[in-house]
Structure 1
Amino acid sequence: MTLNKRRICVVVTARPSYSRIKTAMLAMKEHPEIELQVVLAASSLLERYGNASRIIEKDGFDIAARVYNVLEGENLTSSARTTGVGIIELASVFERLSPHAVVTIADRFETMATAVAASYMNIPLIHIQGGEVTGNIDEKVRHAVSKLSDVHLVASENARARLIKMGEDPKMIFNTGCPSIDIARMVSECNVSGLVNGFDAKYGGVGKPVDYKSPYAVVMQHPVTTEYEKSRSQVELTLNVMESLNIPVIWFWPNVDAGSDGTSKGIRAFRERSSQNKFYFLKNMEPVDFLALLKNSMVLVGNSSVGIRECAYLGVPVVNIGSRQNGRVRGTNVIDVEHDFESLKSAILKQIAHGPYSASHLYGDGYSGQRIAEILAKVDLTINKQITY
């Protein structure tokens, strides 16, 4: 423990959460007034979801604690139980680390455990990316975490205005932009083709490896928790569309959500019946490499927020399927479609024909991490919160 430094504990619960906070963690690690404490929990530690812990350690971060709290089932009941176990385990971790503040990221269901444990232990809670709108369970989680939080670091002015309308103190809401856009800026400034050429040896997947120097599409489709019983049929439709296009496809496995078991079964069944000559399935990539992969692609298909955020900055054409990102502010690079074969196929072909879009700064200018570190070093940390309207 370092004297006279603020102990800021960042809890990372899933592989996408790391890209949302990486540059802020790097800035905090180097800040003379901050002692960074990194806690990994939930699916960030699991091999079948990409095991983000290896990437985080490779980036030079010491792990202060690991919390294994994911229960099998990948349904609504296991999500609730996973959250409950997370509260119990994180309470013990926070008691041992004694942080001055805890940082929780975005809107995944596991973040509720971080928020409840910190709040009940009178530890100031800092929320990254509150104030946004998407629908489904993420919406409830995000706004619930916002109400438990004491400091808000939002990604857009639109999100800041929404939190003020929700009764949060304007003085404690800071529009920093999204730290993942910092990585997008780095990627936009580097030789992307040089990066992707080394991926064959670096990442092992299933199926026929893609020639990264040739045109390809990327698919990231996660289950929608309010439609989890449809997850298999929804992913099977997308698989059939991509197969009909007869183009190389890099497909990422889903997050750990209610319905991900159905999504995974749909992918495995497809692999068994298909020749897979055009499909390559991956679990995870390092954040810089992942965005370089997207920047170099023809189109991103699916329902991941990366299509709304980072792809807007990178100008990558996106086809967003279904309701998972409903309400989230998007750039001109996104076409929204429902789960319909012809509509989806037509939208993908339209985006491929269009090619790259102009860069958008909807979610930041690429310098968020340093702003966040400076705010966390100086902001008044308090747990005394009164809601006003």
Structure 2
Amino acid sequence: MLRETPEIQLDLAVTGMHCDNAYGNTIHIIEQDNFNIIKVVDININTTSHTHILHSMSVCLNSFGDFFSNNTYDAVMVLGDRYEIFSVAIAASMHNIPLIHIHGGEKTLANYDEFIRHSITKMSKLHLTSTEEYKKRVIQLGEKPGSVFNIGSLGAENALSLHLPNKQELELKYGSLLKRYFVVVFHPETLSTQSVNDQIDELLSAISFFKNTHDFIFIGSNADTGSDIIQRKVKYFCKEYKFRYLISIRSGRLFGND
């Protein structure tokens, strides 16, 4: 559609998990789609502490601050509530470049995504939400109703065309799933008073009660504070009980806190 609209010039700036080998270095997927990547910022993601997250944010803020001082745009479009996107939003706003925010108005309990998302909303001039409920919440935050549009969920749209391995494909690659299986995903609850160690230990302890009757397939967590702890413990748990650890999978049964 963009290629058929020559009056719109789209440049992509890529950062965060897209540039990290631990999360698939997915920038190559963007390159395969032949989009114009004008800026790449590797923020050296280190999720061991809040201090390291803040360092990644400062790297991102400084880099995009310099970039926007030398490159003018009619608008900058950002999606969601990631901390690196927060830095991009601040840099663009301080250079008086209008922000278009996708997926505002949503709720994330026990995570700093919540206040980051609403902060980006307050900096934005145009809001593209995924449901009517989220549209109403953006308006409740004080945004002009005429600047808020419900366009549906991009993730749901993408999921319709995304190929993920089904049970048969998994069995061909990793061996038979003889028992009923569940897919498990757990992200750090970054605003919880409970430590990440205790959070994941509690989950794995509960799962261990079913280790003889069910199979469990774990998928990776987001790059948030403490995700390195979760991934390390999950990989050890999978090795001990011969469960599987994958990036993503299609399943009818999923539990965790995603």
**Structure-2 separation of matches of 1:221 and 1:152:** 29
**Deviation readout 1:270-315 (Å, 9 max, x if unpaired):** 245x141xx21123xxxxxx5xx32xx23111112xxxxxxxxxxx
With normalisation by structure 2, the TM-score equals 0.86
Q: Which residue in the other structure is 1:161 paired with?
A: 136
Q: Which of 123, 129, 142 is the equivalent residue of 1:148?
A: 123
Tell me the distance in 2 between the aligned counterparts of 1:164 and 1:47. Answer: 39
Q: 1:301 is matched by which residue type in structure 2?
A: F
> After superposition, where does 1:10-21 map in structure 2 within 5 Å?
none
Which of 220, 227, 239 pairs up with 1:253?
220
The corresponding residue for 2:207 is 242
In structure 2, the CA distance between the partners of 1:30 and 1:113, relative to structure 1 (3 Å rule), is farther
Deviations 1:179-223 (A, max 9, x none): 111123446xx9x88x7755678xxxxxx8255898532211110
Contact 2:185 2:219 in 1 (8 A): yes
Q: Please provide the CA RMSD for this pair.
A: 2.8
Q: Which runs of 5+ in 2 are unaligned?
A: none
TM-score, structure 1 as length reference: 0.59
Q: Which residue of 1 aligns with 2:189?
A: 224
- Which amino acid in structure 2 is aligned with residue 234 of structure 1? Q
Deviation string for 1:93-122 (max 9, x for gaps)? 334553321111111222210110110111
SS at 1:69 equivalent: coil
Structure 1: segments with no counterpart, 5+ residues: 1-26, 202-207, 284-289, 305-389
1:244-323 equivalences in 2 (<5 Å): 244-245=209-210, 246-271=213-238, 274-276=240-242, 279-283=243-247, 290=248, 293-294=249-250, 297-304=251-258
In 1, the alpha carbon distance for the partners of 2:3 and 2:178 equals 36
The Cα of 1:250 is off from its aligned counterpart by: 2.3
**Residue matched to 2:25:** 51
8 A Cα contact 2:2 2:8, kept in partner: yes
Quote the residue 1:233 is aligned against. 198
Change (3 A) 1:224 1:130: same
Q: How many residues align?
A: 255
Pick aligned residue for 2:102 from 123, 128, 131:
128
Counterpart CA distance in 1 for 2:47 and 2:83 is 15
Residue by residue over 1:22-70, the C-alpha shift from the partner in whole angstroms, topping out at 9 and shown as x without a partner, is xxxxx44554432221111122210112222122223443422210113
